[in-house]
A and B are shown apart, each in its own frame.
Chain A
C-alpha cells in the first residue's frame, strides 16, 4: 500500500515593532545585543508582567504590520476583528491567558505561491491573526525562573490549509513565507533567535483515501532544513506504524535535530480547553478601506515579483533567482552589485553573464560563509561594489576562480578593497602575453617529449603542460590563456 502525507503549517512570525504589543516596553534588545545576552527581566513594566489592575493598550504598528502580511498574501481583511483570551496556566504566561485572535482574525483566505520542480503551487492560507508572545522559563538546577523580556512581543500566526504534501513543499513554503515577511520588513528574520518558528501538522493516509489520518503536531521548528527532516522522519514513522498495524496517537512531538527524530512532548488525552472569549479590555479593531489602501500602495516589491524580475532582466534561472530572493538583504545586495557593474560592462549583452557569475559567488561562497560563521547577510563586511568589482575581475579573467574565492573570503571577514587583497594575496592573473609566451616556450622546450605527444593529437597531455606552466608562474597565469598559447605554438610548429 502506498501512502500520501497531508501537511499544514502554522508559523509564528515575530514582528519587529519598536515596542511590545500592549505596553511601551522595547520589543527587542538594543542594537548589537542578542536576545540571549539581554539582561533578564530588563524590558518589563507593570503591564507586561500583569500587575493587578493594569490594562493592555494596542500598539497600532502591529495592526499595520499584520495588514501588510494579509494584503501581500491576497487575504481578505476582516473589520472589525477581535482579540480573544486564550486561557491556560504556564509560568511564562503572566496574565494566565494569552491575548490572541480566535473566531475573528484580522486576515483570512489568502495564498502563497511556491516553486517546485514540477512548477508553481498555490498554498492556501486559512488565516493570519495577531497575538502576543509569552515569556521564557529559565531553569537553574532545581529552580525555575521566568524571564519576561519576550512577554508581550507581537507575533502574527500564519496558518495554512493542509495543502502541503511533501517535506520539500513544506520547506519551500517556509522559505517563501520567510522571504515575504522579510521583504515586507515586518520581521527581522533571525531564525536562531526564534523570530520565525513553525509548527507542522502531519498525517498520512493511503493514496485514494479521502478521510484524513490522525494528526500529529511537530512543535517549534526554526530552520528550513529541519522542517524538511522533521516531516520526512514523521511521515516515515507514521507509515511504519500503520504498516505494523499500530494506531497513530494524536500528540505533540518535538524535533531532535541532533538525532534527526521526532519525540513525544505530550499526548492529547482530551481536547484542549482554552475557554476562549472576546477580551473585554480591548475594543474590536476597526479597519477602514482607506487604511487598507494606504498599506496596499505602500507595499514594497514582493519576493516573487523580485524573483521574476531577476529572471527576465538578467536571465537568471528560476532556481538562482529564488535562492537570492529568499533573503531580502541578499537580493538587494545582488541588485546593488549589478548596479555597480552595469556601467562598467561594455556591451549590454555582458550583463547576464556578469549576473550569473555574481549570483554564483553570492549563493555559493557568501551563503556558505554565512552558515559557517552563523551570521546574517547584514553583518558581513563586504559591500556590493566590492563584490561587483571582484565579479568584473573574475569575468575578465584578471583573477582565477580560486583567486576570486580567496579574495572573497577576505572581503567577507575583514573588509578592505578588492585591489588590496588581489595584490596582497598575489592572485593577479598574468595577462602579459609577451612575458607569458617566454615562460610557455621555455617550459615546452623542457618538456619536448610531452609537447610532441600533444602536437600528434594526444589532447590529454595539455593538462600536464598547463600544470607545469602554472607551477612556474606561481599560479598567476591565466590557465585558459596558457592553453591558447600552447595551441598557437603547436599550430606554428606543426
Chain B
C-alpha cells in the first residue's frame, strides 16, 4: 500500500507515534524508489543522513509536540528536488553530461528554506536537459515513462518532479517552470503543480534557463500539500535581485478571508480551443458547468494573443539560454571532454566540451545566439520583448474584468514516446496554453481533473493576475477540483 496521506494527515499520525511513523514512511518511500520504473530519481541522498535527520525530528516532536509544526511546517515531509536546483554537496547535473561530475558547493534559497522548515530531502529528480523540453525525453541520463502508461511520456521538463509525486516516491517535490515545465508534467501525470508569480520565489540556486521566465514551484498530490510548500518557499531573497523585495513576496494565508465568494472566471472561447483533444474539450465544458454550479460566475473570453505567445516565448527563452549556458565551457565544474586536453587552440577547447550538450540544448543555444546577433537582434529579440510587453498588458486588461482564467494545460493528454521528437513545431505547441503565464509573470496552478478514454489524466490550470497565487489555490479547491484520485494506482 503506497502512502497517500496528505502531509497534515501524516503529521497528525506522527504526533501519535513519534518514534515510528516517520521511520515507516521513509522506509516505504525508499522501497518505492528502489522499484521505480519511471525514471524519476537521478540520485538519492544517503539513507544514513535521512535516518539521522528523522531521529532528530522525532526527538524534537517528542519534546515540543504540536508546536514543532508551527516552527517547522515541513517537519517530516519527504521531498524530491529537480536536479537543476542546488543542494550543497549533492550533484547538480541539470540532466546534462556537461555537469556529470559537478557537486553544488552551496544550497539554493528554496532548499535552505525547506531544510529550515524540517523537510527531508530525498534526492535529485530527473528532468529534460537544462529544463529544455516538454516531454521529459531529453534527459542525458535516465529515460522517463508515464507512471501508468509506460509507452507514453510523462511531460517535461520537470519530469522527475511529477513522476516522484504521482508515483508516491515522496510527499511533494520542487520543479521549475519556464514555459510550463511544472504544469505540463503535473497535468500529464495527474498531480497538482504551481507556477508562482515571478519574483515571489527566489531563483538563487536554480540553474538558469530563461532567467526572466524561470520560477521554482511545488508539485503535490493535494492542494493542502501544495500550499504548505508554497508557504515555506515563497518570500523575498536579497540574493536574487529579481525577487520581490517587499512583504508581498511571502505567502499570505490570510487571503482566504478576502477571496471573492463568487469569483468571476473566464473560460476560453472556441477559437482558442482549436485542435484540442475531444475528451479534453468535453471535460472543459464539464469543468465550466461544475464551476458554475458551485457558485462561480463564468464568462467566455478570447485570448487572441495565445498563438503569438509561443514564438515570443521561444525567442526570449532561447536568447537568454544561449547566454546563460555560456558558463559551461570546460574551465570549471569538473566536467570537460577528454578531447579538450588535446586542444591546441582555445576554440577547439570550447568546442570539445560544449559538444557534451544534447541536441535540443545545442539547437536552442544556436537559435538564441542567432536571434541576439547584430542584424537580427531588432527583428527577433527586441520585437519579441515588445510583443511580450503587449501580451502582459492585454492580459492585465483581461484581469480588470475577471478574476482568473481557467484554461487547458495542454491540447492533449500524455502522448506517445518519440511521437513529437521529429516534429519540433508540434512539440513547441504543447506549450500553447502555458507560456503566457511565464511571459506575463503571473501565477498559474495546474490541477488534475478527469481522465481520457485511455485512462490518461486530464488536467487544467487556473491563471490569475500577479500575486493572486493564494486565491488560485482557494478557488481551485472550492470550484474546480473533484473528489477523485487521479494520480495513484
Hey, which bits of chain A sit against chain B, CB under 8 A? 46, 49-58, 85, 87, 89-91, 94-97, 146, 271, 273, 275-277, 280-283
Contact = CB atoms under 8 A, between A and B. Distances in A.
B95 to A, nearest CB: 12
B313 to A, nearest CB: 14
Contacts of B85: 53
A56 B241 contact: yes
Contact of A281 (B105, B241, B326): B241
A58 B245 CA distance: 14
A277 B329 contact: no
B320 A96 contact: no
B10 interface: no
Interface stretch (B133-141, B205-213, B303-311): B205-213
B319 A55 contact: no
Given A275-B322, A277-B372, A52 B333 contact: yes
Given A46-B106, A277-B381, A281-B241, 8 more contacts: A51-B104, A52-B102, A55-B242, A57-B239, A87-B369, A89-B329, A273-B374, A275-B322
Contact of B105 (A46, A90, A273, A282): A46
Given A89-B346, A277-B377, A277-B381, A53 B327 contact: no
B154 interface: no
11 contacts: A49-B332, A52-B92, A52-B207, A53-B86, A54-B204, A55-B204, A91-B346, A275-B377, A277-B372, A281-B211, A282-B242
B20 interface: no
Contacts of B377: 275-277
Interface class of chain B by DSSP: loop
B350 A89 contact: yes
Contacts of B320: 280
Nearest to A86: B323
Contact of A53 (B104, B325, B374): B104
Contacts of B105: 46, 51
A277 B323 CA distance: 9
Contact of B238 (A57, A273, A280, A282): A57
Nearest to A58: B241
A52 B369 contact: no
A51 B333 CA distance: 8
B472 interface: no
Contacts, number: 105
B212 A50 contact: no
A50 B332 contact: yes
Nearest to A148: B332
B242 A280 contact: yes
B323 A96 contact: yes
Q: Which of A55, A85, A89 has the most CB of B within 10 A?
A: A55
B241 A96 contact: no
B108 interface: yes
Interface string B70-104: 00000000000000111000001010000100101
A249 to B, nearest CB: 21
A53 B208 contact: yes
A96 B374 contact: no
Nearest to A47: B239
A146 B239 CA distance: 26
A276 B104 CA distance: 29
A303 B373 CA distance: 43
A385 B241 CA distance: 50
A102 to B, nearest CB: 11
Contacts of B240: 55, 57
A85 B319 CA distance: 11
A87 B323 contact: yes
A280 B327 CA distance: 16
A87 B105 CA distance: 25
Nearest to B86: A53
B113 to A, nearest CB: 15
A275 B106 contact: no
Given A52-B94, A275-B369, A87 B326 contact: yes
Contacts of A97: 323, 326
Interface class of chain A by DSSP: loop
A281 B323 CA distance: 12
A94 B327 contact: yes
B203 interface: yes
Contacts of B372: 87, 275-277
Interface in B326-354: 326-329, 331-333, 346, 350
A53 B92 contact: yes
A96 B98 CA distance: 15
Interface string B363-387: 0000001001110010001000000
B239 A55 contact: yes
Contacts of B323: 85, 87, 96-97, 275, 277
A45 to B, nearest CB: 9
B16 to A, nearest CB: 40
Nearest to A92: B331
A52 B98 CA distance: 12
A473 B358 CA distance: 91
B326 A283 contact: no
A223 B212 CA distance: 42
A55 B104 contact: no
A50 B207 CA distance: 11
A52 B241 contact: no
A87 B373 CA distance: 10
A273 B372 CA distance: 9
Given A50-B332, A96-B326, A271 B238 contact: no
Interface in B9-53: none
A209 to B, nearest CB: 29
B381 to A, nearest CB: 6
Contacts of A277: 319, 323, 372, 377, 381
B462 to A, nearest CB: 27
A89 B326 contact: yes
Contacts of A49: 332
Contacts of B212: 280
Contact of A57 (B94, B99, B241): B241
Contacts of A89: 326, 329, 346, 350
A281 B214 CA distance: 11
A482 B206 CA distance: 85
A271 B374 contact: yes
A195 to B, nearest CB: 26
A379 B323 CA distance: 44
Contact of B106 (A51, A90, A95, A146): A51
Q: Which of A91, A273, A277 has the most CB of B within 10 A?
A: A277
Contacts of A275: 322-323, 369, 372-374, 377
A280 B241 CA distance: 10
Nearest to B347: A89
A364 to B, nearest CB: 48
A80 to B, nearest CB: 13
Nearest to B243: A55
A236 to B, nearest CB: 33
Q: Which of B203, B212, B323, B369 has the most CB of A within 10 A?
A: B323
Nearest to B333: A52
Given A57-B238, A281-B242, A50 B327 contact: yes
Contacts of B328: 52, 96
B70 to A, nearest CB: 31
Nearest first, the 4 A-B pairs at minimum CB distance are: A96-B326, A275-B372, A280-B212, A280-B211
A94 B84 CA distance: 19
A371 to B, nearest CB: 38
Nearest to B316: A280
Contacts of A276: 372, 377
A283 B241 contact: yes
A282 B241 CA distance: 6
A53 B108 contact: yes
A60 B211 CA distance: 22
A96 B242 contact: no
Interface in B206-260: 206-208, 210-212, 238-242
Given A53-B92, A53-B208, A277-B377, A283 B242 contact: yes
Nearest to B85: A53
